């Protein structure tokens, strides 16, 4: 007995370093990186890590989702509301491949995440062993970086590197694959955060000359327009953007992921860009003589037909990722830097100005859009409940101050269009990837990341059923999220396209749905189904007042279309305002 005790002591301390297992080292690394929450799902190959996790429950909270995809989306939303990397565990083989949609989603939306997957024991790699997948090969095109660890002593260095890469520059997901034997074997643990890699240089020297040229272009512009993207939120440049816009008097349009980077009720707010964005900013893109694009990547959903995009404008592109510059749109001036650093410098070089008649053009567009689209969508007097009306009411009832999470499709576009975002980082959505099923697990992650705020997830009846099993996670951890199902009995956005571009041939878009209230009952989650306008406000209030989670299933107009729309292949100035199905 005594002898055993002595060897244990000897094992623990060698040269002042602790001798611990690879599994424990993984958790220690996470603690060193200030991680407190992990989303994941156990399985054979990752069991040593989960076993150790029991001893670390005081420092690391593990959220067991009901599917690895749910873990990935929840961790991404957690990262988006906290600004910290999202951490995700999964086992080898199917556990790892189930993450793929979530990894790809985070990659396209530049969200810092560290995925840790387990791998079969080293000597079995390459032999088609049970639950073996080449997850490095599979995830290579959708991660910022990935790496496999076969020896326990490589764990601290590689994890340190992973965090550094995920968080810096243009953030993104990284994946570390760790063999089961590396988890079992021991190492002398020592951790040092990574701050430098020879081949990777995210801290760029400020391009002062280019910024000076930008200031000259801005000071001479007559119809300038700012396009603010996700980069504003990632670099934390919301204040700088506001100061810059207010000093120069330039209107600010935002991309989908740039929403909430600039207050929607600001006099210089021009609106949302893109296919279902606002009329003004899309139309005026082709009137502007100067476009200042900050932290955005000219996605095809923003630009429409590139041949007819912003032809009257000179373009300044402020972007941290050099590969995005001149990728889709040829720019006149590139500033390859962090958005915040550029704005801080640029603010001092620009003149105070105002563009009253130019701003008035936006307000005229707003009026047209209100009369033709917004009025009927947000305050209809008859017919079925409209999506826009629900979102606008939620916006009012939450004082524009909730965190809004969405799924993908009409529910997403309605939430983006009609919620009046007032605080940065309050919109969580799947942008580049357009991942249906994102909404429910992302709502969970957002609420865990920011428990003090009301978190409302808008989803559709289609997307909800793609990850519906995460109701189990809500039940398990009593997560007080509010989920609104905008239920039209269709895959609404695809139906809209079939309506507009496929002669109304509704191929596989009508859904036969279960009773969502009964499903929620099964999970013990309070729920209500409504279809009458008269009940709407009161039902929303009931949902918001609920202490715990609440699911509100709202039957909305079955064949509603989200308008305006820049139709595929059309120019941004060729906006469809009227469409009768």
Partner 1 sequence: MGKQEFTISIFSEDHIGILNQITIILTRRQINIESITASESVVKGVQLLTLVVKASPDMVRKVAKQIEKLVDVLKVFVHSSDEIIYQAIALYKVKTNGLMSGNIIDSIVRNHHARILVVSPEYTVIEKTGHKTEINDLLNHLEPYGLLQFACSGRVAVTKQVKELNAYLSEMDGADRYRNENIELFEKN
CA quadruple 111, 112, 116, 122: dihedral sign: positive
Shortest spacing between CB 151 and partner 1, in angstroms: 6
> Interface with partner 1 includes 196 (CB under 8 A)?
yes
Active site includes 469?
A: no
Task: For partner 1, give the closer residue by CB, 184 or 200.
Answer: 200
Q: Interface with partner 1 includes 203 (CB under 8 A)?
A: yes
Is residue 186 a contact point for partner 1 (CB under 8 A)?
A: no
Kindly state the smallest distance separating residue 540's Cβ from partner 1, in Å: 45
Within 101-140, the residues that bind partner 1 by CB under 8 A are 136-137, 140
By CB under 8 A, name the one of 7, 15, 199, 357 that touches partner 1.
199
Q: How far is the CB of 157 from partner 1 (least distance, A)?
A: 3
Residue among 167, 174, 292 nearest 236 (CA): 167
Residue number with CB closer to partner 1 (145 or 370): 145
Q: Is 144 in the site for partner 1 (CB under 8 A)?
A: yes
Binding residue (CB under 8 A) for partner 1 from 125, 204, 349, 376: 204
Binding-site size for partner 1 (CB under 8 A) equals 32
Tell me which of 466, 468, 493, 543 is the catalytic residue.
493
* Interface region with partner 1, contact rule CB under 8 A, candidates 93-101, 178-186, 187-195, 213-221: 187-195
Own/partner long-range contacts of 238-246 (Cβ < 8 Å, ≥24 apart) = 238/262, 238/424, 240/339, 240/340, 240/343, 240/344, 240/347, 241/294, 241/343, 242/266, 243/343, 243/347, 244/343, 244/346, 244/347, 244/350
Phi, psi of 207 (to 5 degrees): -80, 80
Residue from 19, 97, 131, 153 binding partner 1 (CB under 8 A): 153
By CB under 8 A, name the one of 19, 122, 131, 158 that touches partner 1.
Answer: 158
Please give the biggest Cα pair distance in the chain.
88
CB of 199: closest distance to partner 1 in angstroms? 4
Q: Could you say whether residue 154 binds partner 1 (CB under 8 A)?
A: yes
Q: Is the link from the previous residue into 564 a cis peptide, with omega within 30 of 0?
A: yes
| Whole-number Å distance between alpha carbons of 126 and 318 | 44
Cβ–Cβ under 8 Å, residues 533 and 385: yes
Give the residue, chosen from 56, 145, 191, 370, that forms a contact with partner 1 under the rule CB under 8 A. Answer: 145
Q: Which of 52, 144, 180, 242 is catalytic?
A: 180
Closest to partner 1 by CB, 136 vs 376, is 136
Read off the tokens for 108: 């396209």
**Residue from 197, 216, 306, 577 in contact with partner 1 (CB under 8 A):** 197
Pair 576, 275: CB distance under 8 Å: no
153 included as an active-site residue = no
**Which residue, 174 or 226, is less far from partner 1 as judged by CB?**
174
To the query of whether residue 362 is one of the catalytic residues in this protein, the response is: no
Residue count of the chain = 581
194 part of the interface to partner 1, by CB under 8 A: yes
x/- mask, partner 1, residues 318-337, rule CB under 8 A, reads: ---xxx-xxx----------
Restricting to residues 230-249, which ones interact with partner 1 according to CB under 8 A?
none
Q: Among residues 8, 11, 123, 130, which one is catalytic?
A: 130
Q: How far is CA 356 from CA 7, 153, 248, 350, 361, in A?
A: 80, 64, 12, 18, 9
Give residues 85-104 in contact with partner 1 (rule: CB under 8 A): none
Query: From the CB of 447, what's the least distance to partner 1, in Å?
Result: 32
**Which residue in 56, 184, 191, 200 binds partner 1 (CB under 8 A)?**
200
What's the number of CA atoms in the CB half-sphere (13 Å) around residue 335? Answer: 28
How many whole angstroms separate alpha carbon 523 and alpha carbon 470? Answer: 10
Q: Left (φ > 0), alpha (ψ -120 to 50) or beta: where does 481 sit? A: beta
Nearer to partner 1 by Cβ, of 97 and 326: the residue is 326
Which residues in 517-576 contact partner 1 (CB under 8 A)? none
233, two tokens: 């939120």
165 part of the interface to partner 1, by CB under 8 A: yes
Contacts 24+ apart (CB under 8 A), 330-336: 331/293, 332/217, 333/210, 333/213, 333/214, 333/217, 334/210, 335/207, 335/210, 335/211, 335/214, 336/204, 336/207
Does residue 201 interact with partner 1 by CB under 8 A? yes
Q: Cβ neighbours of residue 150 under 8 Å, at least 6 residues apart?
A: 122, 125, 179, 181, 182
47 belongs to the catalytic site? no
Name the residue nearer to partner 1 (CB basis): 147 or 376.
147
The interface region with partner 1, picked from 11-19, 269-277, 315-323, 535-543 by CB under 8 A, is 315-323
Burial of 106 (0-12, 13-18, 19+ CB in 10 A): buried
Is 131 considered catalytic here?
Answer: yes
Measured from the CB of residue 502, what is the shortest distance to partner 1 in angstroms?
29
Instruction: State the catalytic residue, choosing from 84, 131, 247, 327.
Output: 131
Token readout for 543 is 């949902």
Interface pick for partner 1 out of 58, 141, 452, 534 (rule CB under 8 A): 141
Active-site annotation holder among 24, 33, 39, 68: 68
Question: Nearest to residue 121, comparing CAs of 180, 177, 178, 176?
Answer: 180
Task: Compute the least distance from the CB of residue 104 to partner 1, in Å.
Answer: 13
The Cα 506–Cα 529 span in angstroms is: 26
CB nearer to partner 1: give 139 or 260: 139
CA distances to 204, 321, 323, 405 from 334, in Å: 14, 11, 11, 33
What are the CA-CA distances from residue 463 to residues 402, 407, 495 (Å)?
A: 21, 6, 14
Where b means 16+ CB within 10 Å and e means fewer, 22-36 reads: bbbbbbbbbebbebe
Decide: 77 and 429 in contact? Cβ < 8 Å: no
Q: Rank residues 192 and 348 by Cβ distance to partner 1 and give the closer one.
A: 192
List phi, psi (to 5°) of 424: -55, 140
**How far apart (Å, rounded) are the C-alpha atoms in residues 470 and 464?**
10
* Closest to partner 1 by CB, 157 or 380: 157
Q: Among 157-165, 285-293, 389-397, 540-548, which window interacts with partner 1 (CB under 8 A)? A: 157-165
430 neighbors 577 (Cβ within 8 angstroms): no
Applying CB under 8 A, the residues found at the interface with partner 1 are 136-137, 140-141, 144-145, 151, 153-154, 157-158, 160-161, 165, 192, 194-201, 203-205, 321-323, 325-327
Active site residues: 68, 130-131, 180, 493
């Amino acid at each position: 007995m005594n002898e055993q005790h002595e060897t244990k002591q000897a094992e623990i301390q060698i040269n002042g370093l602790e001798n611990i297992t690879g599994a424990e080292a993984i958790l220690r690394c996470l603690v060193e990186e200030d991680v407190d929450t992990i989303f994941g799902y156990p399985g054979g190959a990752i069991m040593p890590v989960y076993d150790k996790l029991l001893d670390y429950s005081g420092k690391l909270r593990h959220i067991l989702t009901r599917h690895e995809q749910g873990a990935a989306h929840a961790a991404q939303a957690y990262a988006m509301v906290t600004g910290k990397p999202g951490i995700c565990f999964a086992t080898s083989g199917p556990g790892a491949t189930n993450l793929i949609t979530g990894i790809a989603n985070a990659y396209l939306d530049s969200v810092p995440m560290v995925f840790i997957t387990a791998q079969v024991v080293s000597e079995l790699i390459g032999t088609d062993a049970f639950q073996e997948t080449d997850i490095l090969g599979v995830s290579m095109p959708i991660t910022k970086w990935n790496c496999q660890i076969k020896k326990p002593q490589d764990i601290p260095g590689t994890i340190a590197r992973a965090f550094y890469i995920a968080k810096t520059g243009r953030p993104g997901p990284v994946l570390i694959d760790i063999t089961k034997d590396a988890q079992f074997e021991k190492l002398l643990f020592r951790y040092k955060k990574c701050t430098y890699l020879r081949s990777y240089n995210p801290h760029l020297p400020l391009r002062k000359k280019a910024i000076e040229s930008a200031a000259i272009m801005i000071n001479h512009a007559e119809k300038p327009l700012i396009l603010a993207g996700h980069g504003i939120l990632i670099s934390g440049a919301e204040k700088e953007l506001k100061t810059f816009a207010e000093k120069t008097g330039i209107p600010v349009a935002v991309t989908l992921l740039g929403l909430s980077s600039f207050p929607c009720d600001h006099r210089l707010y021009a609106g949302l860009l893109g296919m279902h964005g606002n009329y003004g900013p899309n139309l005026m893109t082709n009137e502007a003589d100067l476009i200042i694009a900050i932290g955005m990547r000219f996605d095809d959903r923003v630009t429409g037909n590139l041949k007819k995009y912003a032809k009257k404008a000179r373009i300044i592109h402020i972007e941290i990722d050099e590969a995005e510059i001149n990728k889709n749109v040829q720019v006149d001036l590139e500033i390859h830097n962090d958005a915040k650093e550029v704005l801080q410098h640029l603010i001092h070089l620009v003149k105070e100005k105002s563009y009253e008649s130019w701003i008035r053009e936006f307000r005229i567009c707003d009026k047209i859009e209100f009369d033709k689209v917004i009025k009927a969508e947000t305050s209809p007097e008859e017919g079925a409940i409209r999506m826009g009306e629900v979102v606008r009411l939620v916006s009012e009832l939450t004082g524009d101050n909730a965190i809004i999470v969405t799924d993908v499709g009409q529910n997403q576009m309605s939430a983006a269009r009609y919620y009046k975002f007032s605080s940065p980082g309050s919109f969580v959505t799947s942008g580049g990837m357009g991942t249906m099923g994102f909404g429910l697990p992302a709502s969970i992650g957002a609420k865990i990341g920011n428990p003090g705020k009301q978190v409302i997830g808008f989803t559709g009846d289609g997307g909800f059923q793609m990850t519906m099993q995460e109701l189990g996670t809500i039940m398990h951890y009593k997560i007080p999220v509010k989920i609104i199902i905008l239920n039209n009995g269709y895959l609404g956005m695809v139906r809209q396209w079939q309506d507009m571009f496929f002669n109304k041939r509704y191929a596989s878009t009508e859904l036969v749905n279960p009773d969502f209230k009964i499903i929620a009952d099964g999970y013990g989650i309070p729920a209500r189904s409504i279809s009458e306008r008269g009940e709407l406000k009161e039902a929303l209030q009931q949902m918001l007042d609920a202490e715990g989670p609440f699911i509100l299933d709202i039957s909305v107009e079955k064949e509603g279309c989200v308008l305006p729309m820049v139709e595929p292949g059309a120019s941004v100035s060729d906006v469809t305002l009227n469409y009768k199905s």
